Chain A
Amino acid sequence: MNICEQILNIAWILLGIGICTKSIQMNLWVPAGPGSGLVPFMAGLIIGWLGLFQFISLWSKRSERGPERRFVESPIARKRIIFLLLGFCGMALLLPILGFLFAAILVTSFLLIVIEPKKILKRIAIAVISCFAVYTLFVTLLRVELPRGFLGF
């Protein structure tokens, strides 16, 4: 966890520097008053400075640290998280190609099977029912425009 913290602190420092540099290019001050870069510059300054502060204070306490813990301890949880993120990415990729309904059924079934691999048919049935219920609520009742696939829904 400490390594993750330090990586994030370095990211904060870099982000802060990046924001400040870009903000200066956008002008912090113009003759009429504050420029477009003023508020982002202030934010960037705080981000960079606090990132550095956290980095140094964590570094100085390195002798007091306990044993290094993993970011996600349980391997099952790690697998679930990765699959869930893959599912979301799959949904974003398939949405414009297959349309909402097909993409949703495919991805939700996949997720339910890989996350809790028991009684697969029951899980697929739940995925299909959930997708149809949500589709009916949004498209039929609330008239929300969702992406349509090659079959028209």
Chain B
Amino acid sequence: MLIRVDPARPQPLGEQVAAAVRRGIAEGEVTAGDRLPPARELAESLDVSIHTVLAGYQKLRDEGLIDLRRGRGAVVRAGAHAGQAGVAELVRGLVLEARRFGIGDDELVELVRSAL
């Protein structure tokens, strides 16, 4: 799986790591049961702090895309199918766009609710 991050972009690096993994799941590059690179190795590889990578992985766990267990590392969850990662990635995009145009977080939640 290819993970690209760029310190010049406004998003935090951890969020960029998460986005790259989401994309990997959405495009079927990694599938349920696949192991993500160990956080320490990925951090050394990208020359970022291990906390940055862990922040990204924790975000993915909170979204239900991966399991994160001490000793076993990060594993793509059985329930994490491509569609779910795709939607999560779209939501991140939506939030970024909204912030870019100065739409407040509460306002955005209202907008989404009204569309449901």
Q: Do A and B bind each other?
A: no
Q: Which B residues form the contact surface with A (CB < 8 A)?
A: none
